[in-house]
Amino acid sequence: MSSTRRQMMIVAVLVCLFAVGMAGLLNFFKYRSNAERIVTERLVVTGKAIGNSIQSSLALGMQLADLGMLPETLKRERATDDLILSIEVFDLDGNPLYNTDLLRATRNVPADWLHAARRAGGKDWFVQRGTESAAGIAIETNFGLAVGYLALRYSDETAKTSTNAVARQLALATLGVFIAAALVASLALSAMTGLMSRKFDAVEAAVRSGDRARSSEALRNGPFGGALRRFIEGVRGAEAEIALVRRQLERGTAP
């Protein structure tokens, strides 16, 4: 019984490990998916706010390259979100017009940005590539004519650092839940198998005693109740029939 108890406890621990581990993994992947979606949505909201401001200025007949107040607006929006590395505005050919990062102000935008912006066809677009990741929108006039693009550059490493921190916290929480679940399952199994072992011992002692009344009472209150009692009574009946047939064979009166 002790070996069976150990095996059952090992199985219970493995089941707890699988269940808690899968729950932890699912929670992590769900968090990562939601975190990525929230990051992109946050950047798009910021970009559209700037885009609306630009569109209002263009409605007054100004050209995209002549918006004197736009650099200050970009800097102000950049300062409101630590995730944003720079905010860049460029024309339809990828030539830079405004940039909050002065070191990048004279560089043409990355080719994959321009390709993604053109392929989006006026919708939001995203490029993920290390520190060159960007979320962008098309800048349009009130008549729906695209005159340029706005990109919010951010670092994937910053988002991954936050995700990794949550992953470590989730791993510690999952480990704690696993230890608690395994301990509770082990204690419950130990108590259950201990009770069953005592009942089996009581039934075995009653059956070996040869006292039919005591045996019947022990079987009735045993771990399997009437099923075990009927099984043992069936075995006894079979043994009695075998003994009867044996005696008849010895006497030569067997049918």
- Average confidence (pLDDT) over 21-46: 86
Name the percent of the chain lying above pLDDT 90.
7
Please write down the HEC assignment for all residues of 11-59. HHHHHHHHHHHHHHHHHHHHHHHHHHHHHHHHHHHHHHHHHHHHHHHHC
Give the model's pLDDT for residue 245: 73
pTM: 0.61
**pLDDT, tens digit, for every residue of 65-98?**
778 788 888 888 888 888 888 999 998 888 888 9
Q: Which of 89, 76, 77 minimizes the C-alpha distance to 42?
A: 77
Across 50-54, 67-71, 180-184, 187-191, least confident range? 187-191
> Identity (one letter) of the amino acid at 138?
A
Query: Other C-beta atoms within 10 Å of 135: how many?
Result: 24
Q: Is the pLDDT higher at 227 or at 67?
A: 67
On whether residue 96 sits in a domain, the answer given is yes
149 beta partners: 90, 138
Q: Number of folded domains in the chain?
A: 1
Please write down the HEC assignment for all residues of 62-97. CCHHHCCCHHHHHHHHHHCCCCEEEEEEECCCCCEE
Q: Are 1 and 200 in contact (CB under 8 A)?
A: yes
Across 46-60, 137-151, 197-211, least confident range? 197-211
Q: Could you please report the per-residue DSSP string of 114-181?
A: HHHHHHHTTS-EEE--GGGEEEEEEEE-TTS-EEEEEEEEE-HHHHHHHHHHHHHHHHHHHHHHHHHH
CA distance 12 to 22: 15
- Average confidence (pLDDT) over 230-236: 66
Across 16-30, 87-101, 177-191, 228-242, least confident range? 228-242
The model's confidence at residue 157, banded by pLDDT at 50, 70 and 90, is confident
On whether residue 214 sits in a domain, the answer given is no
Per DSSP bridges, beta strands 125-127 and 96-99 are unpaired
Residue with tokens 């839940």: 177
Does residue 240 surpass a pLDDT of 70?
yes
Phi, psi of 243 (to 5 degrees): -65, -40
Q: Give the strands of the sheet with 96-99, arranged side by side.
A: 96-99, 84-90, 146-154, 133-140, 125-127
Phi, psi of 29 (to 5 degrees): -65, -35
Does residue 136 surpass a pLDDT of 80?
yes
Give the model's pLDDT for residue 87: 92
Q: Is the pLDDT higher at 201 or at 32?
A: 32
Q: Is the pLDDT higher at 221 or at 79?
A: 79
Mean per-residue pLDDT over the chain, rounded: 79
Please name the residues in contact with 37: beta carbons below 8 A apart, sequence gap of 6 or more.
Answer: none
On whether residue 216 sits in a domain, the answer given is no
Q: Is the pLDDT higher at 206 or at 104?
A: 104
Please name the residues in contact with 219: beta carbons below 8 A apart, sequence gap of 6 or more.
Answer: 203, 206, 207, 225, 226, 228, 229, 232
Q: Is the pLDDT higher at 67 or at 25?
A: 25
> Identity (one letter) of the amino acid at 44?
V
Instruction: Determine the structural domain holding residue 19 and report its residue range.
Output: 2-162
Q: Are 53 and 73 in contact (CB under 8 A)?
A: yes
Give the model's pLDDT for residue 121: 82
Does residue 239 surpass a pLDDT of 80?
no
On whether residue 41 sits in a domain, the answer given is yes
Q: Is the pLDDT higher at 244 or at 169?
A: 169
Give the model's pLDDT for residue 207: 56
CATH code for the domain of 23: 3.30.450.20
Does residue 132 surpass a pLDDT of 60?
yes
CA distance 97 to 95: 7
Does residue 220 surpass a pLDDT of 60?
no
CA distance 46 to 147: 19
